[in-house]
Amino acid sequence: MSGIKTDRRDFQLIFCYLPCDLQHYWQCFTIVVTFVSDTSGEVAASLHLAKEMRSHGKRDKATKLYLHALALEPHNVEVLTEYGEFLEEEHNYMEADHMYTKALTVHPGHTQALTNRLRTLPQVMEYERRYFTTIDKKRDLLIQVPLNSAALRRIKQESYYFYIYHTNAIEGNTLSLGQTRAILETRMAVGGKSIVEHNEVIGMDEAMKYLNNTLMDRIGAIRIEDIMEIHRRVLGHCSPLDAGHYRRTQVYVGRHIPPHPIEVENKMVEFNEWLNSEEALSLHPIQYAAIAHYKLVFIHPFVDGNGRTARLLMNLILMQAGFPPVTIKLEERHEYYEALVKANEGDVRPFVQFVAKCTERTLDEYLYAVEENPTKDWPHLSSLDDGKVIIIN
């Protein structure tokens, strides 16, 4: 099949209109792409050379060769499995587990990947358990701070502006943190900035007030209507005719093609069932919040404002579990999108890890702010090493 040119976009455009299950398509599609690809010779050569470098202890060169092979064929099961084994040797169980998971998404019965994953999964789960325990302890510390503490009120207020600034900036809003704050305090326009950007700030303010004043006080499950009401506020001032309504057109999010518009309503009903399922409610709140976020942006039910709505839904779940609202920073955008891409490829764990890291960082910031005469610097780094290298005793 060497020499046959294929354009992934063409496949996606054709498949997205077929009324069947998306994940299944993704598998078929990636197998087809892999099969007809004309890069197979180069990939095989890279893999062969990587093995040789690895056996000679030239790990840097081996890494480059594995990554080159994966760049050519990101869904090549052999490369994924072998690179996973290589990462295991470096004690990077998290990334290794991700490689096996990705391989198994493409080829669910792949024996080597299955066997390898039996090794990595318990380690990853143990790491997660420990990390969640660390974060829960920090949350419990914060809960002990009296609600009338002036320092707590201040950090809450600051975090409010901070959140609105970052959640909009991630989507391309160019207003600075200071300008965002001025808009919220004065409702006056900043000359030279677009009106839409102002309305994004006002919309987020209304959506967050709705979360704090209405949804947080309500007892009971999260409903589709709650998500619609959040979106109605997020996008209300920017696109009043789209706000609170499902999209009626196909949308494209990078390589991800969300469900066809006629499927959106059913997908949202399924999502809502999951949100209130025993399975979801038995997860750690961070897992629950992160997966809810991922599932919502996967469906991408709205023409715009999906990310902002998903981050608010994530925070609704976290806040209901006693966490402060968690900010995903503009500087973390690349990492955030990468984790979402990995989730689209079948492994949601890196995204859960990412949300956990943001939760911990937010907690550190709160705890630092309420501490009297703090002895350390402003917490910029996570207390754990982001799970890149785990050594389990």
Q: Which stretch binds its own copies (CB under 8 A): 125-133, 164-172, 193-201, 328-336?
A: 193-201
State how far the Cα of 187 lies from the Cα of 283, in Å rounded to an integer: 41
State how far the Cα of 96 lies from the Cα of 248, in Å rounded to an integer: 40
Q: Is 56 annotated as a binding residue?
A: no
Per the structure block, which two tokens stand in for 284?
């750690």
Q: Is 233 annotated as a binding residue?
A: no
Are 192 and 246 contacting, i.e. CB atoms less than 8 angstroms apart? no
Binding of residue 243 to its own copies (CB under 8 A): yes
Residue with tokens 């994924």: 80
CB of 199 or CB of 250, closer to its own copies: 199
Binding of residue 257 to its own copies (CB under 8 A): no
State how far the Cα of 172 lies from the Cα of 192, in Å rounded to an integer: 16
Q: Which stretch binds its own copies (CB under 8 A): 56-64, 187-195, 330-338, 347-355?
A: 187-195
Are 234 and 288 contacting, i.e. CB atoms less than 8 angstroms apart? no
Exactly one of 64, 68, 193, 333 binds its own copies (CB under 8 A); which one? 193
By C-alpha distance, which of 42, 33, 35 is closest to 9? 33
In the complex, minimum distance from the CB of residue 206 to its own copies, in angstroms, rounded to a whole number: 8
Total Cβ atoms within 10 A of residue 222: 18
Binding of residue 185 to its own copies (CB under 8 A): no
Q: Which stretch binds its own copies (CB under 8 A): 17-25, 194-202, 275-283, 326-334?
A: 194-202
Binding of residue 240 to its own copies (CB under 8 A): yes
State which H helix or E strand residue 229 sits in.
Answer: helix 224-234
State how far the Cα of 224 lies from the Cα of 206, in Å rounded to an integer: 18
Number of residues that bind its own copies (CB under 8 A): 22
Chain-centre distance for alpha carbon 270: 20
In the complex, minimum distance from the CB of residue 320 to its own copies, in angstroms, rounded to a whole number: 24
Distances (CA, A) of 182 to 113, 179, 187, 204, 211: 54, 5, 7, 14, 22
Binding of residue 213 to its own copies (CB under 8 A): no
Q: Is 304 annotated as a binding residue?
A: yes
219-238: contacts with its own copies (CB under 8 A): 232-233, 236-238
In the complex, minimum distance from the CB of residue 173 to its own copies, in angstroms, rounded to a whole number: 13
Q: Is 393 annotated as a binding residue?
A: no
Task: Output the CA torsion 76→81→87→88 (10° steps).
Answer: 170
Binding of residue 245 to its own copies (CB under 8 A): no
By C-alpha distance, which of 25, 196, 133, 181 is closest to 384? 133
Q: Is 306 annotated as a binding residue?
A: yes
Angle (deg, nearest 10), helices 150-169 and 306-320: 150
Are 328 and 321 contacting, i.e. CB atoms less than 8 angstroms apart? no
Query: Choosing from 98, 284, 300, 380, which is the catalytic residue?
Result: 300
Q: Is 311 annotated as a binding residue?
A: yes
In the complex, minimum distance from the CB of residue 188 to its own copies, in angstroms, rounded to a whole number: 6
State how far the Cα of 289 lies from the Cα of 138, in Å rounded to an integer: 18
In the complex, minimum distance from the CB of residue 257 to its own copies, in angstroms, rounded to a whole number: 29
Q: Is 336 annotated as a binding residue?
A: yes
Binding of residue 182 to its own copies (CB under 8 A): no
In the complex, minimum distance from the CB of residue 234 to its own copies, in angstroms, rounded to a whole number: 10
Provide the CB-side half-sphere exposure for 155 (13 A, CA). Answer: 22
Exactly one of 191, 279, 334, 378 binds its own copies (CB under 8 A); which one? 191
CB of 125 or CB of 195, closer to its own copies: 195
Q: Is 346 annotated as a binding residue?
A: no
In the complex, minimum distance from the CB of residue 172 to its own copies, in angstroms, rounded to a whole number: 15
Assess whether 98 carries a catalytic annotation: no
State which H helix or E strand residue 358 sits in.
Answer: helix 349-370
Q: Which stretch binds its own copies (CB under 8 A): 164-172, 188-196, 335-343, 367-375?
A: 188-196
End-to-end CA distance of the chain: 48
Query: Active-site residue numbers?
Result: 300
Which residues contribute to the site for its own copies (CB under 8 A)? 183, 187-196, 198-199, 202, 232-233, 236-238, 240-241, 243
Query: Could you tell me which residues are annotated as the binding site?
Result: 253-256, 304-311, 336-337, 344
